[in-house]
Structure 1
Amino acid sequence: MTRRPSRPARVLAPALAATVLLTCAACSDDDKDSSTSAIGASPLAADSPTASAAARLTEAGARQALITETDLEDDWTQVDDAATWRDSLLVGKVDVADFLTAKADAADCQQLLDGLYSDTLLGEPSGASALTGFKEENSRLLYQVGTYRQAGLDTSFAWLKSLPATCDQFTAIDSAGDRRTVQVTEASLPEEGDARQGLRVTVQGTSGGDPATLTLDVAAVRVGTDAITVTAGGLDGDEDDSVEDAVRAGTKRLDDVVS
């Protein structure tokens, strides 16, 4: 593939990037409690086991289905601590006042923020799973693969598809009372897998007293009762090309493993 030119103009001050990209250990107990309770209450965690186990991944197969640096353009470097990544700009309570006539939509938007923060957009896997991560300057790419219950996947993909309409723009408020504007739009993905959904999520707020915008490109692709999810971005801007690379390479790897 033709490599994209480097983007030196996108490099931000290390102090700003370090402030926004926090690990789970740096988050407050209140933040973790709110994230956990919201996800636990989600219908994604309550579906019944209806899918056949015949085509499900083993733990070794899930690891084999992960992408590597060679599957991505640009200068992505694989890391060992991806499971601890957390973005502080995603922590906040949705302002229900934004939803005057559709209060239920506020719960969907809260579920989106919590799912992005805890890396559980499709709910918890019902079987084998694995994840890996990559860094490039101030951007990060998290790649996950896992086995889920069929009913849960159907619910998850329907929910993801609805978000650009129900959560197109809303406000989240952090524990200090600072307000953040969140926008959700649909994003196109390669025609891979049995079902797919792409999103772009931007969060505009402040970090360390300075304006900051977090941009995340998100993809979910279903292959039978298995699925991959990709979340990439940061303060540097969009990473849609890298997400498409990950979707193409990852779907092929997953197909090869399960077949």
Structure 2
Amino acid sequence: MTQRPPRPVRVLASALAAGALLTTAACSDGDDSGAESADTTRISSSPLAQESPAALTPAGARAALVTEADLEGDWDQVKNASTWHDSLLVGKVDVADFLSAKANAADCQKLLDALYDDDLLGKPSGASALTGFEEGDSRLLYQVAAYDKAALNTSLNWLKSLPVKCDQFTATDSSGGKRTVQVTESSLPKEGDARQGLQVTVQGTSGGAPTTLTLDVAVVRVGTDAITITNGGFDGADSDSTKTAVELGTERLKDVQAGRTPSADPGEID
């Protein structure tokens, strides 16, 4: 009986032959570069390739700002928000409060200075816009800006560390007056790619009378853009308004990044 050659050899030979034929056809096709270009075009136009948001423009940053219609309560938009600076935030941190971690005093000083100067995330690398609202003695400052991604992540990590590093400390004003500052973490709606909420209270004197300044601080990162909110005053901070600004403001920024015009009417909050 004649022994048949092993089948795997024929299969392998057939596969090699088919591969050779495909290679020959590809080499003999003078339009191959065009076909390859068409494949590349199809890949680049896929949904995954289009997910990166457009760079934030000055007009886009302004469109991403929340409005009176977005906020709950009786907030009135103002035109001079960029000039807001609270004198209770001016002071030199007492390093003696930091017996075992004196380096933390620099972070607490940075926090006070950044709150006063309205630059918690540092200098934007691109477009930015700012607006403000008043309700009685309370103020809500809202900012949208583009940042360098690495610097933005560093700033967010720094903010996350403050409730531990700066849980309570003393600052001294230019006349020697003492102020007690407390920093605690606060919860925010799960919006954006990353977020951090803080509540900062400063106890001191204003006009010779004891007073307490309470501020909600909220930061939300959406790609390489970010929203920064400070909200509060001598009557406390309206945390509901802070959360509403985070929710609706994040949606407005996402609309802008996607090339859409944010709605003039706020949506329902679940």
TM range (shorter): 0.7 to 0.9
Matched positions, count: 207
Q: TM-score, normalised to structure 2's length?
A: 0.76
Kindly indicate whether the alpha-carbon contact (under 8 Å) linking 2:104 and 2:166 is maintained by their aligned counterparts in 1: yes
Give the percent of matched residue pairs that are identical in Structure 1 and Structure 2. Answer: 72
Kindly indicate whether the alpha-carbon contact (under 8 Å) linking 1:193 and 1:221 is maintained by their aligned counterparts in 2: yes
Moved over 3 A (4+): none
- Helix, strand or coil: the match of 1:196? strand
Letter in 2 for 1:249: L
Once residues 180 and 229 of structure 2 are traced to their aligned partners in structure 1, the CA distance between those partners, rounded to angstroms, is: 23
Query: Alpha-carbon deviations, 1:12-63, whole Å to 9, x = none?
Result: xxxxxxxxxxxxxxxxxxxxxxxxxxxxxxxxxxxxxxxxx96320000000
Flag the 1:54–1:191 CA change in 2: closer, same or farther, 3 A. Answer: closer
Unpaired segments of 5 or more residues in structure 1?
A: 1-52
- Helix, strand or coil: the match of 1:215? strand
Partner of 1:246: 245
Once residues 132 and 53 of structure 2 are traced to their aligned partners in structure 1, the CA distance between those partners, rounded to angstroms, is: 28
Pairing 1:89–2:94 present: no
Query: Alpha-carbon deviations, 1:103-127, whole Å to 9, x = none?
Result: 1100000000000000000001000
Partner of 1:107: 106
Partner of 2:152: 153
Letter in 2 for 1:146: A
Once residues 63 and 151 of structure 2 are traced to their aligned partners in structure 1, the CA distance between those partners, rounded to angstroms, is: 24
- Helix, strand or coil: the match of 1:198? strand
Partner of 1:59: 58
Q: TM-score, normalised to structure 1's length?
A: 0.79
Partner of 1:228: 227
What is the CA RMSD across the aligned residues, in angstroms? 1.0
Once residues 142 and 234 of structure 1 are traced to their aligned partners in structure 2, the CA distance between those partners, rounded to angstroms, is: 11
Once residues 55 and 239 of structure 2 are traced to their aligned partners in structure 1, the CA distance between those partners, rounded to angstroms, is: 29
Kindly indicate whether the alpha-carbon contact (under 8 Å) linking 1:55 and 1:225 is maintained by their aligned counterparts in 2: no
Kindly indicate whether the alpha-carbon contact (under 8 Å) linking 2:138 and 2:237 is maintained by their aligned counterparts in 1: no
Pairing 1:198–2:181 present: no
Q: Greater relative contact order: 1 or 2 (C-alpha under 8 angstroms, separation 6 or more)?
A: 1
Deviation at 1:80, TM superposition (A): 0.1
